[in-house]
A and B are shown apart, each in its own frame.
Chain A
Amino acid sequence: MEMNSPVGPNALDRPGIVGKPLDRVDGPLKVTGGARYAYEMQQDSVLYGFVVEASIGKGRIKSIDTRAAEKAPGVALVLTHRNAPAQGTGNHREAHPVLTGPQVTRYGQPVAFVVAESFEQARAAAYLVDVKYDRSNGKYALRSNLNEACVPKPIDAPAADSAVGDFASAFAGAPVQLDVTYTTPLQSHAMMEPHATLAAWDGDKLTLHTANQMLNQGQRVIATTLKIPAENIRLISPFIGGGFGGKLWVNADAVLAAIASRQLKRPVKIALTRQQIFHVTTHRSDTIQRLRLGTDREGRILAIGHDVFSGNLPSEQTYEGAALQTRTLYAGPNRLTRHRLAPLDIPVASSMRAPGEAVGLMALECAMDELAEKLNLDPIELRIRNEPSEDPEKHIPYSSRHLIPCMQEGARRFGWDKRNPKPGQLRDGRWLLGIGMAAATRGNPLLLSKANVRLDPDGTCTVRMAMTDIGTGTYTILAQIAAEMLGLPTERVRVELGDTSFPQAAGSGGSWGAGSSGSALFEACNALCEKLARTAGMDSATATFANGSIASGEQSRKLTDLVGAGMEADGEIRPGSNNKEFSQQSYGAHFAEVGVDEDTGEVRLRRMLGVFTAGRVLNAKTARSQAIGGMAFGVGAALQEAMALDPRFGLFVNHDLAEYHVPVHADIPAIDAIFLDELDDRSNPLKSKGIGELGICGAGASIANAVYNACGVRIRDYPITLDKLLSGLPVRT
């Protein structure tokens, strides 16, 4: 099916199992250890690999002495650029060549790979590899290299610039103006499971058990890199311990393991250490964002401008699309957004947790808060006054948009009316209290996906696709969809994911997973239902499926009597004109209450609520968990997360989880998320929209706005740590 028209009424519209807060079907496996992750896969005669990272940011390997390592106990191979094979090249989404030569282009670049009989032996030997470098001066800090920033030209992302009307004159002439610059720091995904791969060859066929979010994409990247046909490569990844974008693309673990395994003719296993993940894999670029908002005296936006700088390796075009949501969130006749990318000699910057919106809204939604104060308007009222009737840049309708109800419902539930717009008015002992809000929006992409569904004579239904579940609940919602469509209990549905030998799927990322994979399955189930109806001699238009039977009129047949030795069907979903003719986003509103210690400047979240609309909710429980997780990300982004760059070395100094702070339990008090009813019939057959990343979008801004409301100090340089607040807080007298 191609999404070219509204989907109309369908089987999911009746009340059923879809939408119910079903517990995760893979939950028992996960809590009993039955769910096996890449590194836990066992294979006979497996060897273990350990990466040696470059300890300089830029330069050349002068010499590399591997003799001691090679002689160390258990060592089977030390790979360096001298003995690594030639590989295909491209940007990080196309290829991932490793050990290509003596050039060091970034800190932590693998310069050797030591393979041994045990992990401990490999690691010990890795420390014996003696690398000498000629260091050259690298460009590491974004701020110091803005003059070299260019217009990025990625092939697979929106254009860097957009303009409508005449921003410059409209802004200059606007009676009320706000011109502020926000900065967000370098961030690391910090997912639970480290990047890990087990590679094994059988002749010229390669199998990779690897933690990867998009298996079909990964298969192509490995094929390009190793210069072998994609059909010779099988990626297996049934369980992934979080990715957050850090496992969207192929990382060094997979390629190093594959190369070493081919040379040694034995399976090779590798997991990056926590410390290595920070440099060896990708991260989110820091951003410098200038927001200019010009309004009339009533707060109607006349001009809106958002300029964003981010950085990446010179060979990459991926930019942090922090202004993308500014193109569509609020009305206004004169608009300008620009992204510039500075070439830097640091590890690859790529997608992380709502790339673009997550950090873009941390600027835009705080600027809106600042603007509301300037205008003496309630922040929600300001947003209502700028609610667009159509997408203000594309001039096309929204497929569905209920931002205002989200804000109003949230305000009611959270007690927004108790907020004093004047900062610093409320306290609890030494804690200054404040509340803040922000809007949430995240694009709703749809990607080509296919699915196969099969019904066997024993009554079990098997769903197969090369989809992944990165911990979000994909297994569960797919089981619900198949169960609903075929009238089976969910226990009868077996969902098999994470294998490129299954039909091609979108994978998990960009909030497209549930909609894309679920729609493909929906289509496959429809096809199977038709086959079953035909076999039963019923009209598929009137046939209903329930309790393992198909019924039409007086007639009813057990499905197991119809399937013969087993019956299967395929389904497919493709984006179509709906994706061009309708502006598609999910929406929401965040409300946060924080305390700021007036003496120490410590900020602690007290409570938080997110109210969202994202089309049909497929599982109330996994949706809520997903939203809450995103909101916790927002807490980290606002208050804690930052990689500290040492510009002398191009090094991320705090590369472990003791010093790279993400929220811990004690930082996350009462957080709740609710979804308002909505169906979007332009989005996909499920009428759902993406929720994966919606929770993080705007979450950080609501906290930043609450901090301002609490203490009257506006920090525009994230994260809002106490050292930045201190000088603005009153001194005790």
Chain B
Amino acid sequence: MKAFTYQRTDSTAQAAAAAVQPGAKIIAGGTNLLDLMKLQVETPSNLVDINRLPLDKTEETPDGGLRIGALVRNSDLAADPRVRQRYGVLSRALLAGASAQLRNKATTGGNLLQRTRCYYFYDITKPCNKRNPGSGCAALAGFNRIHAILGASEHCIATHPSDMAVAMRALDAKVETVNRHGETKVIPIAEFYRLPGDTPEIETSLKPGEIITAVTLPPPPPGVQVYRKVRDRASYAFALVSVAAIVDSTRGRIRSARLAFGGLAHRPWRVAQAEQRLVNAAANTTTLNSAADAVLEGARGFGGNDFKVPLTRRTLHSVLAETTRT
């Protein structure tokens, strides 16, 4: 850890102004940032603490949705009765993540911006384009069991590790931000995360210094909500594959379905065509295979993660069987 200065801020604009300075970094729960600082993966010279900003409320929106402050803790959000009743997929995704202690600290904004768990990203003695652009990607020909099978590039095959973001992707959440001039912006979550391409160090569409203030959820779509996280142990493990599914069906016939996947790519993965193939379709093997084909279009393993291709297909089948059973 490099020595750093620390500053507390009273307004979001002030925080954004401080955060835009070179070497500055926002700290919320700190559960990801501090780990990375200890390992010198992140080396901010100034920490801008936003924990006192009034961003810790979850409110109803006029259209029947929810607006979640960026500082709402993962535990609180998961336990919020409105979330549990109307956005079960989100509550479950949150509770499937990390540990109780971490969730008590972790914030909504921080969770969205947590960084990949790629082993080589965490080890500064190894090449990593995301940490050190142009140095290469040690995972490509290395141990890549947890890496991406979709949307990866030869520069980076990392995944985004958040469970919460996968559920938000299925819910079509929007990310609200503010910059140092006090200008606000609303970014649909579909446009929030980027694929690695040849700039894996740029992970989102946020501009330097831009601060997340809230995440809004539109009114819940009809259907059963499920979050299935496939992992190597029963808790406290990142998803190998996860599925956030919202499926509206009766008697084995699907009216509509939303499917977002975690553990597969540099961002929560959602394929419109897969969902279209399920609209007004019988929930049988042919339909499900066809949807899975659409999800896995272009999928490729890098050795250690080859199993994710069949695993995704199987998990999708399993989730759709569960959600269409009436």
Interface presence of A600 (CB below 8 A): yes
Contact A648 B142 (CB under 8 A): yes
Q: Which of A127, A726, A733 contacts B40 (CB 8 A)?
A: A127
Within 8 A of A (CB), among B98-155: 99, 117, 119-120, 122-123, 125-126, 138, 141-143, 145-146
- The distance in angstroms between the C-alpha atoms of A721 and B146, with both chains bound, is 13
**B20-28, B171-179, B213-221, B229-237: which lies at the A interface?**
B229-237
Contacts of A721 on B, CB cut-off 8 Å?
232
Contacts of A727 on B, CB cut-off 8 Å?
310
Interface presence of A658 (CB below 8 A): yes
- The distance in angstroms between the C-alpha atoms of A351 and B1, with both chains bound, is 33
Q: Which of B3, B143, B233, B285 contacts A124 (CB 8 A)?
A: B3
Contacts of A283 on B, CB cut-off 8 Å?
none
CB of B228 to closest CB in A, whole Å:
8
- The chain A residue sitting closest to B288, CB to CB, is A732
**B52-60, B82-90, B314-322: which lies at the A interface?**
B314-322
Q: Which of A600, A656, A663 contacts B318 (CB 8 A)?
A: A600
Q: Which of B39, B234, B235, B310 contacts A275 (CB 8 A)?
A: B39
Q: Which of A273, A597, A646 contacts B142 (CB 8 A)?
A: A646
Given contacts A600-B314, A722-B311, A732-B317, contact A640 B233 (CB under 8 A): yes
Interface presence of A73 (CB below 8 A): yes
Contacts of B6 on A, CB cut-off 8 Å?
none
- The distance in angstroms between the C-alpha atoms of A73 and B142, with both chains bound, is 37
Interface presence of A644 (CB below 8 A): yes
Interface presence of B15 (CB below 8 A): no
- The distance in angstroms between the C-alpha atoms of A604 and B230, with both chains bound, is 12
Contact A646 B143 (CB under 8 A): yes
CB of B117 to closest CB in A, whole Å:
7
Contact B142 A726 (CB under 8 A): no
Contacts of A670 on B, CB cut-off 8 Å?
none
Within 8 A of B (CB), among A649-668: 649, 651, 653-654, 656, 658-659, 661, 663-667
Within 8 A of B (CB), among A566-596: none
- The distance in angstroms between the C-alpha atoms of A659 and B311, with both chains bound, is 20
Contact A654 B3 (CB under 8 A): no
Q: Which of A73, A597, A661 contacts B232 (CB 8 A)?
A: A661
Contacts of A124 on B, CB cut-off 8 Å?
1-3
- The distance in angstroms between the C-alpha atoms of A120 and B120, with both chains bound, is 23
Contacts of B138 on A, CB cut-off 8 Å?
646
Interface presence of B170 (CB below 8 A): no
CB of A429 to closest CB in B, whole Å:
9
- The distance in angstroms between the C-alpha atoms of A47 and B13, with both chains bound, is 42
- The distance in angstroms between the C-alpha atoms of A430 and B322, with both chains bound, is 10
Given contacts A600-B314, A644-B145, contact A667 B233 (CB under 8 A): yes
Given contacts A599-B315, A644-B143, contact A722 B235 (CB under 8 A): no
Interface presence of A234 (CB below 8 A): no
Chain A 706-733: CB-based contact to B (< 8 A → 1; otherwise 0): 0000000000000001110011010111
Q: Which of A123, A600, A651, A666 contacts B234 (CB 8 A)?
A: A666
Contact A602 B230 (CB under 8 A): yes
CB of A328 to closest CB in B, whole Å:
34
Contact B235 A665 (CB under 8 A): yes
- Dominant SS among interface residues on chain A: loop
Interface presence of A4 (CB below 8 A): no
Contact B231 A73 (CB under 8 A): no
- The chain B residue sitting closest to A669, CB to CB, is B234
- The chain B residue sitting closest to A131, CB to CB, is B125
Interface presence of A55 (CB below 8 A): yes
Contact A664 B235 (CB under 8 A): yes
Q: Please, how many residues of chain A have a CB less than 8 angstroms from a CB on the other chain?
A: 42
Contact B126 A649 (CB under 8 A): yes
Contact A659 B231 (CB under 8 A): no
Q: Which of B117, B120, B141, B307 contacts A658 (CB 8 A)?
A: B117
Contact A664 B285 (CB under 8 A): no
Given contacts A602-B230, A659-B117, A721-B232, contact A733 B285 (CB under 8 A): yes
* Most chain B CB neighbours (cut-off 10 Å) among A73, A653, A664: A653
- The chain B residue sitting closest to A663, CB to CB, is B233
Interface presence of B189 (CB below 8 A): no
Contact A664 B234 (CB under 8 A): yes
- The distance in angstroms between the C-alpha atoms of A600 and B263, with both chains bound, is 14
Interface presence of B240 (CB below 8 A): yes
Chain B 175-210: CB-based contact to A (< 8 A → 1; otherwise 0): 000000000000000000000000000000000000
- The distance in angstroms between the C-alpha atoms of A646 and B304, with both chains bound, is 12
- The distance in angstroms between the C-alpha atoms of A55 and B307, with both chains bound, is 30
Within 8 A of B (CB), among A667-723: 667, 721-723
Given contacts A123-B1, A430-B318, A658-B117, contact A640 B232 (CB under 8 A): yes
Contacts of A656 on B, CB cut-off 8 Å?
122
Contact B234 A604 (CB under 8 A): yes
- The distance in angstroms between the C-alpha atoms of A651 and B122, with both chains bound, is 13
- The distance in angstroms between the C-alpha atoms of A249 and B241, with both chains bound, is 41
Contacts of A664 on B, CB cut-off 8 Å?
99, 233-236
Given contacts A120-B1, A653-B142, contact A722 B234 (CB under 8 A): no
CB of B169 to closest CB in A, whole Å:
21
CB of A432 to closest CB in B, whole Å:
13
Contact A653 B318 (CB under 8 A): no
Contact B125 A667 (CB under 8 A): no
Within 8 A of A (CB), among B232-275: 232-238, 240-241
Chain A 608-649: CB-based contact to B (< 8 A → 1; otherwise 0): 000000000000000000000000000000011000101011
CB of A278 to closest CB in B, whole Å:
11
CB of A274 to closest CB in B, whole Å:
10
Known: A651-B126, A653-B119. 7 other contacts (CB 8 A): A120-B3, A599-B315, A600-B315, A640-B233, A646-B142, A732-B285, A732-B321
Contact sample, A vs B, 16 pairs, CB 8 Å cutoff: A120-B1, A124-B1, A600-B318, A602-B231, A644-B145, A651-B126, A653-B119, A654-B119, A661-B237, A664-B233, A664-B234, A666-B233, A667-B233, A667-B234, A726-B311, A732-B314
By Cβ-Cβ distance, the 8 closest A-B pairs, closest first, are A55-B125, A599-B318, A666-B234, A723-B307, A666-B235, A653-B143, A600-B230, A644-B143
